[in-house]
Chains A and B, each alone.
Chain A
């Protein structure tokens, strides 16, 4: 069966067209790639052209980013400087002009580095008109039949948010591992709350809960983070691909986590 594209002006109409054999088309870096590779599980691509999907709104410290906003647009937005390095870590310039925030939520490891940071930021995903916490969204994404219209999160203070994408090819290469952390600290530098998200440590971004708990009450010193580094690998099931084996990824995760926290 030959491929076809159906375009709709609203998300609602597009959602109604997402039946069997249909995939929602964002920037094309996953779906058209799949079609080019001979993925025959879909034959219809569906897209919505609603301009709302391409908007970035920032008010009272909360960012709402439309699902069709590209990585390049995130990287260039003056009020999103804290997460611009994450957007810049995705692909090369052409990919960043195409790949969308919504699409990144569905990108299988080793892709999906932006979604790793959204998980650390405790983003809310608006899908099918409902607000879903990102963790629940990622868990259930395989069965998702609704269209993501936006993601929402509190823009982190630059000093509270850290991100690293480890690649073997510089400056561009897919992830060996990516790590995003959001740390609240009191005036004495003691960590009061921590969220840590990992990429490539499962087929989708996951949280490192044991390490999060181990960081609370500690400071960002070699001694303070030792317990968290020791348990960062708890619950991981890293992927194996041409870039690195699961064993290698598990071995280097604590090294890069430690470096990120002490940077």
Chain B
């Protein structure tokens, strides 16, 4: 199968790659580009571990074909920290023990970022809804919900 040229920005950096036609964005990111922060869990759209932001929208990279992302802006968990300083969400996850095995964490972070980007002051129900497509088998979700709420509070204090 012919290789297809694809260009997009990944966490603000220009990327140009030749990918196999029909390959998923998840596979292209992990195996071609070397960003292993999105995780391959169910590959069915059920677990959310592969979640990334494509043009600001939360998407599942396991169900997105790489060549459909030509010209897009992609953000993954690997792009959250700036200059070695953790993103407030990452900080809150760490401080609040919202991570155990860590496999769901990148997807949870992206789902939470998608929420806070459009709703900086979410209610608990908003957070539950925002991570409803992400499965965590360790934490029972409560520490994750609290971490997202705490990151939102920390952010609003910074702005104020």
A: which residues have CB within 8 A of B?
A: 2-5, 7, 25, 27-29, 32-33, 35-37, 45, 47, 72, 91-95, 97-98, 171-172
Contacts and interface: CB of A to CB of B under 8 A. Distances in A.
B132 A29 contact: no
A5 B65 contact: yes
Contacts of B44: 33, 36-37
A45 B21 CA distance: 10
B57 A97 contact: yes
Given A29-B63, A32-B63, A172 B132 contact: yes
Interface in B112-131: 114-115, 128-131
Interface of B: 1-2, 20-24, 43-45, 48, 51, 57-60, 62-65, 67-68, 111, 114-115, 128-134
Contacts, number: 88
Contacts of A2: 1, 20-22
A217 B8 CA distance: 60
Given A29-B45, A93-B129, A94-B58, 19 more contacts: A3-B23, A4-B22, A7-B68, A25-B65, A28-B63, A32-B62, A32-B64, A33-B45, A36-B62, A45-B22, A92-B131, A92-B133, A92-B134, A93-B130, A94-B48, A94-B59, A95-B133, A98-B63, A171-B128
Contacts of A4: 1-2, 21-22
B111 A33 contact: no
Contact of B43 (A37, A94, A97, A172): A37
A94 B68 CA distance: 16
Given A29-B63, A98-B63, A91 B128 contact: no
Contacts of B43: 33, 36-37
Contacts of A36: 24, 43-44, 62-63
Nearest to A174: B46
B67 to A, nearest CB: 6
Nearest to B115: A93
Nearest to B114: A93
A32 B57 CA distance: 19
Contact of A92 (B21, B62, B132): B132
Nearest first, the 5 A-B pairs at minimum CB distance are A92-B133, A3-B22, A172-B132, A36-B43, A4-B21
B10 to A, nearest CB: 18
A98 B64 contact: yes
Nearest to A2: B1
Contacts of A33: 43-45, 63
Contacts of B22: 2-5, 35, 45
A5 B25 CA distance: 13
Contacts of B59: 94, 97-98
